[in-house]
Structure 1
């Protein structure tokens, strides 16, 4: 019913992995994934900072940028200007940030990165607290 595979795999050979194919370790893949989640959380945090002034958000943005830089080998994250983007309400931004912090926490825990896990858990708590008035009104 199905045609059999006729070509050899490009990923490995009988002699072992293909040396021409780039390979990353599990730790490197987790670093990339964690840096991505934290960078996305930083972008939402910057967007929240544009809508409401808060020392907590300023501190969090600095700590997030520091962790992203560490995970990316010293390269600073790109910080976009969000002055013109205020179409989403703060509650939606807090929900998005909470979800991103949760994803970052899962990856940080799987790679045993205590600093990133603590930061992600703190951000989850902060965004949950910001959403409590909305949840109480339901």
Structure 2
């Protein structure tokens, strides 16, 4: 009724040969993803520091850079400067979203230090734009 498969599967490899593409573990993939989210958050934090310098943002940037370097095997992350025409409210919204993504990945890989840092940054960016939270809560009623 059915014709037998005549070709080898593309999903198997022969024993003793190396695969055509690199395989990474779930932990390695999560490390890469978390490093990317934290690096993006660091870039937004650097933009905020350029527009409105503060000791809190300076400390957060250093902690973020340390976490990214740890996840990337010691390689220092690229740093950013302020983008022309970007307002601080928009940057705080973007930073809040990035910190939330980082928190989800950090929790998934059970990285307590990164999860705590991401949660702290979410709180800080939410507090930086309280009028926006009022607008959102008023719309939900």
Deviations 1:9-35 (A, max 9, x none): 1x4337699633210010000000000
1:135 aligned partner: 133
From the CA coordinates, give the structure whose radius of gyration is larger. Answer: 2
Corresponding residue pairs, total: 132
How big is the shift at 1:134?
Answer: 3.2
Task: State whether structure 2 residue 69 is matched by structure 1 residue 60.
Answer: no
- Contact 2:33–2:105 at 8 Å: present in 1 too? yes
User: 2:23 is matched with which residue?
Assistant: 23
Are 1:35 and 1:68, in contact at CA under 8 Å, matched by a contact in 2?
yes
Compute the RMSD of aligned alpha carbons: 2.3
Structure 1 residues 28 and 130: alpha-carbon distance in aligned structure 2, compared to 1, 3 A threshold: same
Q: 1: CA distance between counterparts of 2:53 and 2:80?
A: 17
* Structure 2: distance between partners of 1:107 and 1:124: 14
- CA contact 1:12–1:18 (8 Å) conserved in 2: no
Structure 2 portions without partners, runs of 5+: none
TM-score with structure 1 setting the length: 0.85
Shift of 1:37: 0.1
Distance change >3 Å, CA 17–CA 130, structure 1 → 2: farther
Asked whether the equivalents of residues 51 and 86 of structure 1 are also in contact (C-alpha less than 8 Å), the reply is no
Q: Which stretch shows the higher mean deviation, 126-135 or 67-76?
A: 126-135
Task: Give me the TM-score of the superposition, normalised by structure 2.
Answer: 0.84
Judge which range, 85-94 or 16-25, deviates more. 16-25
The residue that corresponds to 1:46 in the other structure is: 46
- CA–CA distance in structure 2, aligned partners of residues 122 and 65 of structure 1: 15
Matched, 1:77 2:77: yes
Q: Distance between the aligned counterparts of 2:88 and 2:116, measured in 1? A: 24
Matched with 1:125 is 123
What are structure 1's unaligned runs of at least 5 residues? none
